[in-house]
Structure 1
Amino acid sequence: MHMPSRRFLQRSALVAALALTAGAAFAAPVTYTMDPAHTTVVAKWSHFGFSNPVILFGDAEGRIVHDADNVSASSVEVTLPLSGLESNVSAFNDHLRSDDFFDAEKFPQATFRSTSVEAAGDGKLKVTGDLTIKDITREVVLDTTINTIGAHPMSKKPTAGFDAKATIKRSDFGLGMYVPNVADEIELHITTEASAAAE
Structure 2
Amino acid sequence: MTRIAFAFAAALAALPAASFADAFAFDPAHTEVRIYWTHAGFSEQSAEFHAIDGGVTFTPDALTATRADVTVKVDSIDTGFEALDTHLKSGDFFDAETYPEIRFVSTGVEQTGERTAKMTGDLTLRGVTKPVTLDVTVVNYGEHPVGAFYDFYKGQWLGARAETVVKRSDWGIDAFIPIGSDEIRVVISTEMKAQ
TM-score by length of 1: 0.82
Q: In the alignment, does 2:110 pair up with 1:118?
A: yes
Which amino acid in structure 1 is aligned with residue 192 of structure 2? A
Cα RMSD, aligned residues only:
1.3
Alpha carbons 2:20, 2:156 under 8 Å: kept: no
SS in 1 for 2:180: coil
Q: How far apart are residue 42 of structure 1 and its match?
A: 1.0
Structure 1: 4+ residue segments shifted above 3 A: none
Q: What CA distance in whole angstroms lies between the structure 1 residues aligned with 2:194 and 2:21?
A: 11
Q: In the alignment, does 2:186 pair up with 1:192?
A: no
Q: How far apart are residue 83 of structure 1 and its match?
A: 2.1
Q: In the alignment, does 2:96 pair up with 1:104?
A: yes
Matching residue within 159, 173, 187 for 1:161: 159
Alpha carbons 2:106, 2:122 under 8 Å: kept: yes
Q: Which runs of 5+ in 2 are unaligned?
A: 1-18, 148-152
Q: What CA distance in whole angstroms lies between the structure 2 residues aligned with 1:28 and 1:159?
A: 9
Q: What CA distance in whole angstroms lies between the structure 1 residues aligned with 2:54 and 2:191?
A: 11
Q: How far apart are residue 29 of structure 1 and its match?
A: 5.9
TM-score by length of 2: 0.84
Q: Looking at secondary structure, tell me which structure has more strand per residue.
A: 2
Larger relative contact order (Cα-Cα within 8 Å, sequence gap ≥ 6): 2
Q: Which runs of 5+ in 1 are unaligned?
A: 1-26
Q: In the alignment, does 2:60 pair up with 1:82?
A: no
Alpha carbons 2:27, 2:193 under 8 Å: kept: yes
Identity of aligned residues (%): 37
Q: Deviations over 1:6-32 (max 9, x none)?
A: xxxxxxxxxxxxxxxxxxxxx776210
Q: What CA distance in whole angstroms lies between the structure 2 residues aligned with 1:182 and 1:61?
A: 28
